[in-house]
Amino acid sequence: MLRTSYNTLAKPAQRPPIPVANSFFTRLGGLLFTKAPAALLFPHCTSVHSMCMPYTLLIVHLSNQGDILACYPLRPYALSRRVSATAHILELSLDHPLASCAHDKHLIAKLVREALEYCA
């Protein structure tokens, strides 16, 4: 008699804690039509804007390894700064739970790596 082991079946991948803008339309809209609290990771991006945004964003510039290079608020209708060595940008609404710990380099790097691995 043939036995089937269901324990060897692969579990579906869990969604990352930070949504990733990995399609054209997701990158185009960004957080525009979202309500706060919201977060979005833009891989392979060096600058963002907040045109037509109804609330202030917290912008976190990240290196390839997920290290924080810069972190600052971005008011509506503004352009982000240019920070050298930026590989990814994380947008957070100011009332997002991650915004209060945005300067925790280890936590942000871990979450960014998880999000990028999920999309790879």
Residue 13 pLDDT: 54
Model pTM score: 0.80
Computed over every residue of the chain, the mean pLDDT equals 82
Burial of 86 (0-12, 13-18, 19+ CB in 10 A): buried
In tens, the pLDDT along 7-19 reads: 444 444 566 678 8
Q: What are the residue boundaries of the structural domains of the chain, listed by start? A: 29-119
Residue 98 has pLDDT above 60, yes or no: yes
